[in-house]
Amino acid sequence: MAEIVIAKGRDKSLLRRHPWVFSGAVGKVEGRARPGDTVEVVSAAGRWLGRGAFSPDSNIRVRIWTFDTNEAVDAAFFRRRLERALAARELPGVPARACRLAAAEADGLPGLIVDRYGDFCVCQFLAAGVERFKADIADALLDLTGCAGVYERSDAEVRAKEGLTPLTGVLRGAEPPELVEIDEGPARFLVDVRGGHKTGFYLDQRDNRRLVAAHAAGRRVLNCFAYTGGFGVAAALGGASEVIHLEASAPALALARRNVELNRVAHVPTQYLEADAFARLRELRDAGERFGLIVLDPPKFADSKAALERACRGYKDVNLLAARLLAPGGLLFTFSCSGLMEPDLFAKVVADAFLDAGRDALILARLSQAPDHPAAAAFPEGSYLKGLLLRVA
């Protein structure tokens, strides 16, 4: 194997078992290393630090597979890691047939996302290392889960940073149908695993949907950035007096309508607004509308440190609009899935929004991702989803 020699003084994160080696920490490369090759990582003094996947096109030059010098990286390695990941998903409240089976660095599988929807595993191979071992991973998944098929959704933009092209399609077994039905407690959802966002559904918001349902009774609910209606369906099942889904994507909104029909909540007055959320929120504000519960679950606003300041402005603007739309005693569930947005910074941005709106608010809860989306203790970046539940005076 080629060796990646870490520059002097740049090995502290590896000694703490952080799995990323950035390009600036690489002192030199000894030997030939191609994209996806397994390489040895050593300190400037020659100390062995780890074994990982090389990615010359990425700012994350090496993703560590193992910190055990005796552990080989082969098909058996990936089977063991997947077995461990599956065992970790045997958790109360986590549906066995609608959950995240592998969460990249958290499961010692950097660059790999696997979600299960019914009888299908849907995978994202987002780094050169897992791309190299795709066949071994697909074989292991089919065998370990007993699923009917393994489907690839490696069409995320981040693959370009790894020098990889977008790929989708069947890897093993059968092709999934146009829509896969899943259960989430009393709720049921149709998931577009072949063309929906990411792998098709936001499983990480499962517990937060339950929390919305628990607070929705008798409230007029505005579900912003609704996607396929998850929060709105939860609110309707929880006894909301009215639900409005606000979403810019017509196909997503059409699927939201089908999810509402699937859950037999037609008795709850429901509207579907196809519009840019920022623009429509301003219109609702100007019309004097008021809501008892608002959900803000926008897409990622920051994918780089350079974009963080602009992201903060976006989060402040949308939370300011929501603060002005809340009725007295109203609740706001507000989220950020931008990994670069620290929880304390997000809380400050939201607090500033309420200050500018002239509204007093209490933080009732700090929210995060569901437990089948864990974060490794040595990899805090894995705690990407942060949220707040606030009550306005």
pLDDT digits (tens, 9 = 90+) for 33-90: 999 999 999 999 999 999 999 999 999 999 999 999 999 999 999 999 999 999 999 9
pLDDT band at residue 309 using 50, 70 and 90 as cut-offs: confident
Whole-number pLDDT of residue 339: 82
Q: Which of 286, 296, 212, 214 is nearest to 247 (CA)?
A: 296
CB 191 within 8 A of CB 200: yes
Question: Is 194 a member of any domain?
Answer: no
Question: Is 306 a member of any domain?
Answer: yes
Residue 337 falls in the annotated catalytic set: yes
For the CA atoms of 45, 51, 55, 58, what is the dihedral angle to 10 degrees? -70
Average pLDDT score over residue span 178-201: 97
Claim to verify: residue 48 and residue 86 sit in the same structural domain: no
Whole-number pLDDT of residue 123: 98
Number of domains in the chain: 3
State the residue range of the domain holding 345.
202-392
Claim to verify: residue 217 and residue 345 sit in the same structural domain: yes
Claim to verify: residue 86 and residue 156 sit in the same structural domain: yes
Going by their DSSP bridges, the two strands 120-125 and 149-154 should be labelled as parallel
Average pLDDT score over residue span 299-315: 84
In this predicted structure, the answer to whether residue 302 has a pLDDT above a threshold of 80 is no
* CA pseudo-torsion sign 321, 322, 324, 325: positive
In this predicted structure, the answer to whether residue 130 has a pLDDT above a threshold of 80 is yes
In this predicted structure, the answer to whether residue 102 has a pLDDT above a threshold of 90 is yes
Claim to verify: residue 10 and residue 27 sit in the same structural domain: yes
CB 31 within 8 A of CB 70: no
CATH of the domain at 99: 3.30.750.80
Whole-number pLDDT of residue 264: 97
Measured distance CA(298)–CA(276) in Å, rounded: 11
Per-residue pLDDT of 135-189, as tens digits, reads 999 999 999 999 999 999 999 999 999 999 999 999 999 999 999 999 999 999 9
Claim to verify: residue 229 and residue 147 sit in the same structural domain: no
Which of 88-102, 107-121, 295-309 shows the lowest per-residue confidence on average (mean pLDDT)? 295-309
Claim to verify: residue 312 and residue 355 sit in the same structural domain: yes
Average pLDDT score over residue span 123-127: 98
**pTM of the predicted model as reported, rounded to 2 decimal places:** 0.95
Average pLDDT score over residue span 209-221: 98
* CA pseudo-torsion sign 207, 212, 214, 215: positive
Neighbours of 275 (CB within 10 A): 13
